Amino acid sequence: MRKNIVAGNWKMNTNLQEGVALAKGVNEALKNITANCDVIIGVPFTHLAPVNDAIDSSKLGLAAENCADHKSGAYTGEVSAPMVASTGAKYVILGHSERRQYYGETSEILKTKVNLALENNLAPIFCIGEVLEERENGSYLNVVKTQIVDALFELSADDFSKIILAYEPVWAIGTGKTATAEQAEEMHAFIRGVLAEKYGQEVADNTSILYGGSCKPSNAAELFAKPNVDGGLIGGASLDVESFMGIVTAF
């Protein structure tokens, strides 16, 4: 059966020293509890190797927040999937709405990134989600389905089973405006149905679908109680040990 997962996405926050201290804090806090979910932190590229050295990877997973759409070569400033894998990270966040919106990442680009991640044994945490206008005009289910179909449905069932999905309604990211548990459940159940149609019920049932967007200790338990919400992808609240652990322990 699918895993429950709470993953942090630090975005472009913390310098190296602050980031290592935060990772150590989460690592320490995890020693004192029995978490009912897998816990992952997504950190800036510069932090990957030192954070990997500072944490117990059997208790705390490590993710990059992106990777390049090429394996190697003359792409100044880019960081490839093999480079990410060489730091010890096991996951990579791909398709975040901020990457789609500010860096022009299309489904075509994301398809390439997903393939490179999988070739390098990185599990993609693949983000999908509609903007406010699409929520309001009622096209949100279709928008999210298209994002999934276009970037992921050429994968074999075996490769697809390595993907973690994160539904992040763009209107809920960093706005303090969380989707209601019912809105999240509606979308997550819909996504699972889309996966079942393509890959069969077993693959669909085994896929973890996380919710992201203003998730915090005060609303995590209600969201995670929904049958198709398998955890969270946490932005702001992952930058503080206490609030992140408040979400981890919501399971």
Give me the residues that bind ligand 13P (CB under 6 A), please.
9, 96, 168, 173-174, 212-215, 233-237
The residue type found at 6 is: V
For the four alpha carbons of 118, 171, 192 and 149, in that order, the dihedral sign comes to negative
- Catalytic residue chosen out of the listed positions 98, 168, 185, 188: 168
- Using CA atoms of 232, 235, 236, 239 in order, give the dihedral in degrees to the nearest 10: 90
Which tokens in the block code for residue 50?
């030192």
Q: Cβ closer to ligand 13P: 19 or 236?
A: 236
Smallest gap from residue 72 Cβ to ligand 13P (A): 27
Is residue 168 part of the annotated active site? The answer reads yes
Is residue 96 part of the annotated active site? The answer reads: yes
Would the CA dihedral through 142, 170, 23, 245 be positive or negative? negative
Amino acid at residue number 142 = N
- Residue placing its CB nearer to ligand 13P in the complex, 61 or 236: 236
Kindly state the smallest distance separating residue 26's Cβ from ligand 13P, in Å: 16
Closest to ligand 13P by CB, 22 or 199? 22
Q: Supply φ then ψ for residue 123, to 5 degrees.
A: -85, 120
Q: Shortest distance, CB of residue 73 to ligand 13P, whole angstroms?
A: 29
Dihedral in degrees, nearest 10, Cα atoms 69, 70, 72, 73: -110
Catalytic residue set: 96, 168
